[in-house]
Structure 1
Amino acid sequence: MKPSIVLDARDLEPPEPMVRTMEALDKLAMSEKLLVLLPREPYPLYRALELNGFTWQTKRQADGTVEVLIQHQEP
């Protein structure tokens, strides 16, 4: 399934990527997925996702971009 929302945070300075990701997750419907594009692995984000009931898949692209596909955990 394709992501419903794509957030390109590769050119943002911390903590802006985390802030914008959490804002997007607040609006994410149960059936939607959020794809976040980042310049590095977002370890602090993973803990926040876990605590807030989200699952994720991470892929690293050849250009160094880290793609994190996020969705709500199944009930």
Structure 2
Amino acid sequence: MNNEIELNVCGLEPPEPMERVLDALSHMGPDQRLRMLIDREPRPLYRILYNNGFAYETHSRPDYLYEILIWHKV
């Protein structure tokens, strides 16, 4: 099983990026990580992740995209 899932939701209109990331998280195994690339900071997602047992790191890139790495909290 691949330990990292990549999800590029750049250019999608809300709520599609949120729907896609939540769907990917629902299929993610306990040892997997999700690397999401998006063109705006998904602030509403952070509370959802926190409330559902996920940890995350957000990095803004020089190309104005956001890269969010998500994993299950231990």
**What TM-score, normalized by structure 2, do the two folds share?**
0.94
1:18, distance to aligned residue in structure 2 (A) = 0.3
Q: Partner letter of residue 52 of structure 2? A: N
Map 1:1-75; keep pairs closer than 5 Å.
4-74=4-74
Amino acid at match of 2:69: L
Q: Deviations over 1:35-68 (max 9, x none)?
A: 0101111100001001110000000100100000
**In structure 2, how many angstroms separate the alpha carbons of the residues matched to 1:53 and 1:40?**
23
The alignment covers a number of residue pairs equal to 73
Distance, in Å, in 2 between the alignment partners of 1:11 and 1:61 is: 16
Deviation, structure 1 residue 14: 0.4
Task: Give the superposed CA RMSD.
Answer: 1.3
How many angstroms does 1:11 deviate by? 1.4
Gaps of 5+ in 1: none
Scaled by the length of structure 1, the TM-score of the pair is: 0.93
**Residues of 2 paired with 1:4 and 1:45: CA distance?**
19
Query: C-alpha distance in 2, partners of 1:45/1:23?
Result: 13
Which whole-Å CA distance do the structure 2 matches of 1:15 and 1:7 have between them?
A: 15
Percent sequence identity is 43
- Amino acid of the structure 2 residue aligned with 1:39: D
Runs of at least 5 residues in structure 2 that lack an aligned partner in the other structure: none
Stretches (4+) displaced over 2 A = none
